[in-house]
Amino acid sequence: MVRMIEKIPNLVGRSVERYTILSVLGSGAFGIVYRAVDNSSAEGKQFALKCLARSPQGSQYERAVAREWSIQSQLCGHSNIITLHRFFELRDFVFFVFDFCEGGDLYSAITETHIYQGKDKLIKRAFLQLLDAVEHCHRQGIAHRDLKPENVLCSSDGSKLYLTDFGLASRRLLSSEHGVGSAFYMSPECIGREIKLATFANHSSDVWSLGVILCNMVTGRCPWRSAVTDDECFSSYLHNSKFLLETLPISKELCTLFGRVFTLNPFCRIGLPQFRAAVEKMDRFSMTAEELGSSTDWCKAAAAAYAREVLPERIDDPDFVIEEQDIGEALSSNNSIMGRTHPDGIHVFASPEDEGVRVRRPKRKQQKPVDFTPRAVQKPLSEDSTPSSAPQSDGPITPETHAVDDVDVDIFTESLSHLAIPPPRLIGKGPTLEDDIPKYHGPSRARILRNAVQILKA
């Protein structure tokens, strides 16, 4: 089957209506975004042209394009949502004309230029704008459903953010479409692998994604690969509320806020107004130099990687060795520290492609890892399914590949606060290496999830 993007020729250097295509800004499974100049403009104003291949009239893909146009037109009046100027069809293609942002996307700002590294005031200013943009969407009855740094554009200095790409957006309050979006940013209920709800709230799932983006901006890393219990970082977080504070150079205030955002029970998750109020009150997102000096080696390694610096020669643990060459190679490569890991290294950032900072494992007595997988609840994804719209996947999950099956039903009203996972009693100093996960002596993880699923289905 021919992918939609393969139907689009290279338009660089060509004229399309009154626009001259200058370069490629980005591409996805279904289209290409070009930088173009408007020849009718005296000052030669530049725009971003999103080119999509036309599909047969009445097809699902055509309806999806029409829905994106309708939603984008409804929302673009907000100052932090990218402006859509016009939409036109030409031969076998359709074009969206957007404002051009000099700063590129938020992903590049975080991973390449490190605009936000150590700049708490800039992070607050920018992230509040993103919260405002998403809240505007929700007030208009629209959930984005694919919030990630690649879908946020920014000014050259990072002080202004603009939400974009509403290809997966939905006007449904509740959805039965699981696995829509990008794996790193999906909420557990959206993944639908262990928390299996017939329908889940799209707006609450957007809040989870925003929490991961904030973690990206502050640390340059994602907290885990995927919010499932066989992800070691996510399991450690569920069993230890301070796991993120012990592995990432974040402030205690931010760790507390993440606890309200990354709540397993979507009905107890913080709302956007409360999210915004908490961010406004926060003075610091990152650890101070003194706090970092007394923090764990994981935090020091994460801070060093994001700051493009080598850690101090003296490290408290003599068995813990970070190779300067590995840091240099990782940071000089084109690979993002928000997307790589080394097979011999600790995995704080939790992304399957990161070359990252390699940390030699000390030779110490092996402990049998704790198996957190709830066997009675978990059901593996089928081979032909994918939970991600990231570049390493076959493309975004859209109505073209997965039929839309959203339904309108009443909001759940039953309180599920009693499902909160009790703090476990940990043996040792907490998680330090992947093969040294501390023993968990709390209630069975499988039992907790089974009870949650039974109550949510009741």
Task: Give yes or no for a contact between 50 and 69, defined as CB atoms under 8 angstroms apart.
Answer: no
Residue 340 DSSP label: -
- In this predicted model, which residue has the larger pLDDT, 271 or 414? 271
Residues 60 and 159 in one domain: no
Residues 234 and 278 in one domain: yes
Residue 450 — very low, low, confident or very high, per pLDDT cuts 50/70/90?
low
Please give the Cα distance from 28 to 424 (Å, whole number): 43
Place of tokens 């076959």: 394
Residues 202 and 310 in one domain: no
Most confident of 269-278, 324-333, 393-402: 269-278
Residue 215 — very low, low, confident or very high, per pLDDT cuts 50/70/90?
very high
Most confident of 9-23, 203-217, 364-378, 406-420: 203-217
Paired tokens of 114: 């490190």
pLDDT digits (tens, 9 = 90+) for 291-309: 999 999 999 999 998 886 4
Largest CA distance in the chain: 72
> Last residue of some domain: 316, 332, 360?
360
Averaged over 222-244, what is the pLDDT? 94
Count of structural domains within the chain: 3
pLDDT surpassing 70 at residue 226: yes
Length of the chain in terms of residues written: 458
Residue 153 — very low, low, confident or very high, per pLDDT cuts 50/70/90?
very high
Position 104 in a domain: no
Residues 42 and 79 in one domain: yes
Question: Which residues are known catalytic residues?
Answer: 146
Helix (H) or strand (E) holding 224: none
pLDDT surpassing 50 at residue 413: no
SS3 content of the chain, % helix, strand, coil (to 5): 35, 15, 55
pTM above 0.75, yes or no: no
Q: How many CB atoms lie within 10 A of CB 283?
A: 9
pLDDT surpassing 80 at residue 440: no
Residues 152 and 189 in one domain: yes
CATH of the domain at 14: 3.30.200.20
Please give the Cα distance from 327 to 317 (Å, whole number): 19
pLDDT digits (tens, 9 = 90+) for 100-130: 999 999 999 999 999 999 999 999 999 999 9
Paired tokens of 329: 């190679």
pLDDT surpassing 80 at residue 232: yes
Helices (H), 240-322: 243-247, 252-261, 272-281, 289-293, 297-307
Position 142 in a domain: yes
Give the residue among 348, 346, 368 at the shortest CA–CA distance from 220: 348
Averaged over 11-38, what is the pLDDT? 91
Residues 377 and 342 in one domain: no
Averaged over 141-162, what is the pLDDT? 96
Paired tokens of 213: 């983006």
Residue type, 202: N
Paired tokens of 143: 């959930």
Helix (H) or strand (E) holding 265: none
Residues 160 and 71 in one domain: no
CATH of the domain at 128: 1.10.510.10
Domain that holds residue 387: 114-293+371-458
Residues 255 and 191 in one domain: yes
pLDDT digits (tens, 9 = 90+) for 321-349: 434 333 333 323 333 345 433 333 333 33
Residues 243 and 354 in one domain: no
Residue 54 — very low, low, confident or very high, per pLDDT cuts 50/70/90?
confident
**Cα 419–chain centre separation:** 25
Residues 425 and 452 in one domain: yes
Residues 78 and 152 in one domain: no
Residues 277 and 398 in one domain: yes
Q: Which of 54-63, 181-190, 196-205, 218-227 has the lowest mean pLDDT?
A: 54-63
In 3-state terms, what secondary structure has residue 286? strand
Please work out, in degrees rounded to the nearest 5, the angle formed at the alpha carbon of residue 425 by the alpha carbons of 421 and 429.
Answer: 120
- In this predicted model, which residue has the larger pLDDT, 141 or 53? 141
Averaged over 162-168, what is the pLDDT? 94
